[in-house]
Chain A
Amino acid sequence: MSMNRRDLLRSGAGLMVGFFLPDSRELFAQQGRGRGQGPINPNAYIRIAADDSVTLIITKGEMGQGTMTSLSQLLADELDCDWKNVKTEFAPVNPALYGNQGVFGSQSIKTSWFPLRQAGANARAMLLDAAAQQWKVDKASLRTDAGFVVNPATGAKASYGSLADAASKVAVPAAAPLKDPKDFRYIGKSMKRLDTKSKVNGTAKFGLDTRLPGMLYAVIARCPVFGGKVASFDDSKARAVPGVKKIFQVPTGVAVIAENTWAAMQGRNALVVKYDEGPVAQYSSADIRKMFAEYAEKPGAVAKKVGDAEQALAGATKKIEAIYDAPYLSHAPMEPMNCTAVVNADSCEIWAPTQMQTGGRNTAAQITGLAPEKVKLNSTLMGGGFGRRGGTDYISESVEVAKAMAGTPVKLTWTREDDMQHDLYRPASYVKFAGAVDAQGWPLALTAKVACPSFFGGGRGGAVDGTAVEGIHTLEYTIPNIFVDWRKADPGIPTTFWRAVGYTQNTFFAECFLDELAFLGGKDPLEVRRRLLGNSPRLLAVMNKAAEGAGWGKAPAGRHQGIAVVNNIGSYTAIVAELSVTKGAMKLHRVVCAVDCGHVVNPAIIQQQIESGIVYGLSAALKGAITIKNGRVEQGNFDRYDVTRISEMPKIDVHIVETNNNPGGIGEASGPAIAPAIANAIFAATGKRLRKMPMKPEDIA
């Protein structure tokens, strides 16, 4: 990492070391190629105070994935400070200082691995310089130990806090040497999470916990049909509801302001609103699937072409076709969308549980007409994110409401129904596969015609939206003839990223269809994958590890296994599911997952994230479906959008296959492969090939 801009920031509190992080686009381009060059922005800071506390300013949000802790480990290790003294703060939005702030794509560790360690190492070097000057000795004769600079020759010892002020006056090194990984003190260890205590005694502050003096509470009545608008409304009854203070129209509906959340909800219940529903009202789920099926027959934008799949299929004798599809999904984080804002003539302040800090701030600036630097966005803890909080729609609404209530802080709360019926959904998708095996039974050709909306507005002007086909066009299997194309079929249901994005549907489709090809050729699914992954040593290694851990082919009597693999977010994951089907009822007994995410920072957090992804993926595999009727969502709460419960939790064995590669992501690693592993095991158990998510009990029976 080159340091073309070196900052040493001084504060009354002691040492602040500026350090630098390439932006995410650059890191995507460099993935796996080590440290980058090029335009670099300052991105985060260390602060060492006189009381020896070490504060890491976290530019990534915390939504349960453990960034607060694991990023601190990177810093603390190279800094060689005492873990007990580490504190964290969320960064303010400041593009000049921090670049584009957001948390998505499982990138936190991946993009911080070098810069945060470098920051720690530089700060340590400066503390050594300060002590060397103070003691008038050669810096090389000194060492550090858990928050102290030590002179072994004299026994002198000075705490980092006592040296911080002096250290702030020495030059920042270009790049102090980093530790040899064998010397890591915190990296690679299951350091306790820094946020646990506050999360078990009620003191942790999520967005919805924001309270300000004089604050009022808002809910918004919105058109149930996507894209619909308010035509007129009658608020005479709503204004009479005790506690209701004000009612007015905002771009997305009618806002009800009250002295508490409940009163606002009661006021909304009493509103009579007429809507212009707009064109999406013509669509129901069956129409959308039909639309996708029709699009699948049209020409698409080519995402991958290897060999000549059409010709190979035409000449093959053993071939199959199959249609796979998946529904829209809601994110349903436990904390519904919410945001608190206060707008004054020359300022705006926001408290937001957001995955998109810079975007949220800029949205507020646009709405208020204020310069972005006049908007202060405070990041709160997030009660789950899963991609939903990458949207800034709820921030926009909150600022619109606060703008109309100028000078008064207002907390906008979405009910669960608001959250589920006005989500930005994981797109539904439809794929028409064809495939063939050769005379020896090995896969010869695979074609996939994908029809679905874009996740995030990609695919304009005939281009391929990579997120719509990832998981199919990224397959590492060396099948000699592959053709994947995509056509954008969009009925107008809003969509966005959903934990693991395109892989959440496409890994199910592709890994199940590969199983179909294995059986078509009379081969064991593991054997086929082993043969086809000869050029993918990391994926092959985790697959072999999962197979070994699960005892592939040696399931107890009455139990059946299925396997699936995925390479996404710079990591490699394999899952074996072991289940039984008794009298039509499926029971998932055990899941074995092996993952290679390169260097391991916190094994306990990795284990948790692997389990977390599997549980999130299980809900989608077996339960989740958002269905549309006349342009509105039919589900509103957990009664009709059920999710995995503790009583349904399988035993999960996690095998971390550590390698010396730069870290990949982890939050989205395990979700994609659970559904296909289950589907493939159900086939092994019943001979039934399930090609539609979710796999409901009636489909299995």
Chain B
Amino acid sequence: MAITFTLNGGSQTVDVNPQTPLLWVLRDVIGLTGTKFGCGMALCGACTVHMNGNPIRSCSTPVSTVAGKQITTVEGLSADTTHPVQQAWIEHDVPQCGYCQSGQLMAAASLLAKKAKPTDADIDEALRGNICRCGTYTQIRTAIHRAAEIKASKGGRA
């Protein structure tokens, strides 16, 4: 079945089993591998993307439900790795193995879109579903606070 949605600003049509999770459509069918497979059950956050600006777990989202919606993946955060969260992540060298970081970045970007200056409690709430086995949590927290500053300095624009 052909399903059309907006992917990172461009129109995208795929012809797949409509039950196929968005994650596997992105990775196997379209070839955007920045979004990661971690658990397949919306338990780890590695597959987080934005649907109409809100974070969703693409591993548990049938592609049929994104028809007509706007999907943003880590590749679409910015054209040149300059989204405030990307800048802050680079400044603080957040990633270790890096595998969970696409999901962490997408969760953080969504948090900042809603709260210009998130507190530690806001960060805990927004990111507690994103597992990092390398334990980069301190750097993630620091980088989100820094990203809020960068974003404010750009007049609140991503």
Contacts and interface: CB of A to CB of B under 8 A. Distances in A.
Interface of A: 62-66, 192-193, 195-206, 208-209, 211, 217, 242-243, 260-263, 332-336, 381-386, 413, 415-417, 604, 608, 611-616, 619, 637-639, 643-647, 649, 652
A381 B95 contact: no
B39 interface: yes
A643 B133 contact: yes
Contacts of A263: 17, 20
A353 to B, nearest CB: 9
A416 B133 contact: no
A382 B124 CA distance: 27
Contacts of B138: 611, 649, 652
A616 B133 contact: yes
Contacts of B130: 646
Interface of B: 16-17, 20-21, 24, 27-29, 31-41, 43-44, 46, 73-75, 77-78, 81, 85-86, 89-90, 93-102, 105, 123-125, 127-141
B97 A647 contact: no
A170 to B, nearest CB: 38
B28 A384 contact: no
B37 A413 contact: yes
29 contacts: A64-B96, A196-B94, A199-B95, A200-B89, A200-B101, A201-B74, A201-B86, A202-B33, A202-B73, A206-B98, A260-B16, A260-B29, A261-B27, A263-B17, A334-B97, A381-B97, A382-B97, A383-B100, A384-B134, A416-B38, A416-B40, A612-B136, A615-B137, A616-B135, A645-B129, A646-B137, A647-B125, A649-B135, A649-B141
Given A64-B97, A197-B81, A202 B133 contact: no
Contacts of A382: 97
A215 B69 CA distance: 29
Contacts, number: 184
Nearest to B135: A615
A40 B60 CA distance: 52
B41 A637 contact: yes
B93 A192 contact: yes
Contact of B43 (A200, A203, A637): A637
Contacts of A614: 135
B136 to A, nearest CB: 7
B131 A643 contact: yes
Contacts of A619: 133
Contacts of A203: 34
Q: Kindly list the 6 A-B residue pairs having the minimum CB-CB distance in the complex, ordered from nearest.
A: A202-B34, A615-B135, A383-B99, A64-B97, A199-B98, A64-B96
A65 B96 contact: yes
Given A260-B28, A643-B133, A333 B97 contact: yes
